[in-house]
Amino acid sequence: MLYSLPLVATPPTVQIFTTLQDYYLILGGAAAVIVIGYMTYMIVKNRERPGRTVPAFHEEEGDWGNWKGIVLLLCITGSVLAFVEYQTFVSANLVAIPDPPNTLHVGVVGRQYAWSFTYPNGYTDFQNLTVPLNQIVILNITSADVTHGFYIPALDVAKDAQPGIYNQLWFNATQPGVFTIECRQLCGVGHALMLSKLVVESAAQYNAWYTKLPVAPPAKGGA
């Protein structure tokens, strides 16, 4: 990760993302350096200058060229691409929703221009998403009006919020603190300020907070 957050324990979603990104960065960077380097070398070496002549050729020479070289090239690039694609498939658990027991399900509704969070007991919070430390949380995301994009930068998770459709994401926060939740899909004039806070507390703190909540009948958009 280029800008690492000062986390004590890396959340699993961040771990998956950074590991995968490293593969792409290293191989992509190497490819860029090799190809651009080779091109630059060719240009410098073959620049027009007194005494430089071009070897004779037939006009049709380039038509098919070196097709064996092309096959070799396709094999090399193909295997690199297949390798990174395989790594993506392996990392698909970042987006696949796990199903262990003891998960916290929270309903998220985006509306112009705020997020609201509905807990299993029916309580809806219009300010913060409060979650316990080290527990898998599954969000069930939808929108009340236009398309929004739910994004927690610190956890490297995101999903679109679309009206009439329920999309899920999961995360496991491993560091207590307050983090930003952003909207990442242009949703109108208030888009830039459609910010909420993710509050991660220890299980004890969270339970103390949760049991004091005013209990309402489960809302429709809830878990």
Partner 1 sequence: MNAWLARWLYTTNHKDVGLLYIAGSMYFGFIGAILILLVRVELAIPVCAAGVSGMCWPSATQTFLNAASFNQAVTLHGLIMILWFLSPLAIGLANYFLPLQIGASDLALPRVNALGYWLWLFGGVIATIGFFMPGGNTAGGWTAYSPLSSSGFSPGAGPTLAFAGLIMLATSITVGSVNILLTVATCRGPGMTWRRIPMFSWFMLFTILAMLFSFPSLLAALLLLISDRVLGTMYFSASAGGSILWDDLFWFFGHPEVYVVLLPAFGLIAEIFPVFSGRPLAEKNIILICTGAIVIPLSYMVWSHHMFLTGVTLSEDEAFSVATILISLPFDVITLAFIKTLTRSSIRLTAPMIFCIGSVFLFIIGGITGVFLSSFVLDVVYNNTYFVVGHFHYVMVGAAIFGLIAGLYYYIPKMTGKMYHEKMANWHFVLSFIGFNVLYFPMFFLYDMPRRIYTYQSLPSWNEMNLISTIGAFVFAAAQILLLANIIYVWRRGKISPPNPWGATTPEWVPLITGASHGAADAAGSTLGAEGGARHGHLSSKPIWLATGVGISLVGLSLMVYSWGLAVFILGLAVDGLAIVGWMYEDLHEKFHMPEEVTERWPFNAIPKMRLGMWIFLSTDVIVFGAILGAYLYIRSFTPNWPIPGSVHEIPLGLANTIVLLTSGLTAFLALESIKEGKQRNMIMWLSATFVLGATFLGVKGAEWYDLYFSKAFTWNSSIAGSTYYFTVGLHAAHVTVGLVLMAYLIRKAMMGGYTKEHHEGVENFALYWAFVDIVWIFVFPLFYLL
Question: Applying CB under 8 A, which part among 93-101, 115-123, 127-135, 210-218 lies near partner 1?
Answer: 93-101
Query: x/- site string to partner 1, residues 136 to 155, per CB under 8 A?
Result: ---------xxx-x-x-x--
Query: x/- site string to partner 1, residues 29 to 58, per CB under 8 A?
Result: --xx--xx-xx--xx--xxx---xxxx-xx
Q: Note whether 16 binds partner 1 by CB under 8 A.
A: yes
Nearest CA to 198 among 221, 223, 167, 175? 175
Nearest CA to 88 among 29, 154, 19, 153? 19
Q: Note whether 79 binds partner 1 by CB under 8 A.
A: no
Window 187-216: residues binding partner 1 (CB under 8 A): 187-193, 195
- Cα–Cα separations (whole angstroms), residue 13 to 18, 62, 169, 203, 222: 9, 49, 11, 20, 24
Q: Which of 107, 110, 118, 159 binds partner 1 (CB under 8 A)?
A: 159
Nearer to partner 1, 70 or 204 (CB): 70
Nearest CA to 179 among 193, 194, 200, 159? 200
Nearer to partner 1, 58 or 220 (CB): 58
Nearest CA to 115 among 139, 150, 146? 150
| Residue 190 token pair | 């208030």
Q: Note whether 99 binds partner 1 by CB under 8 A.
A: no
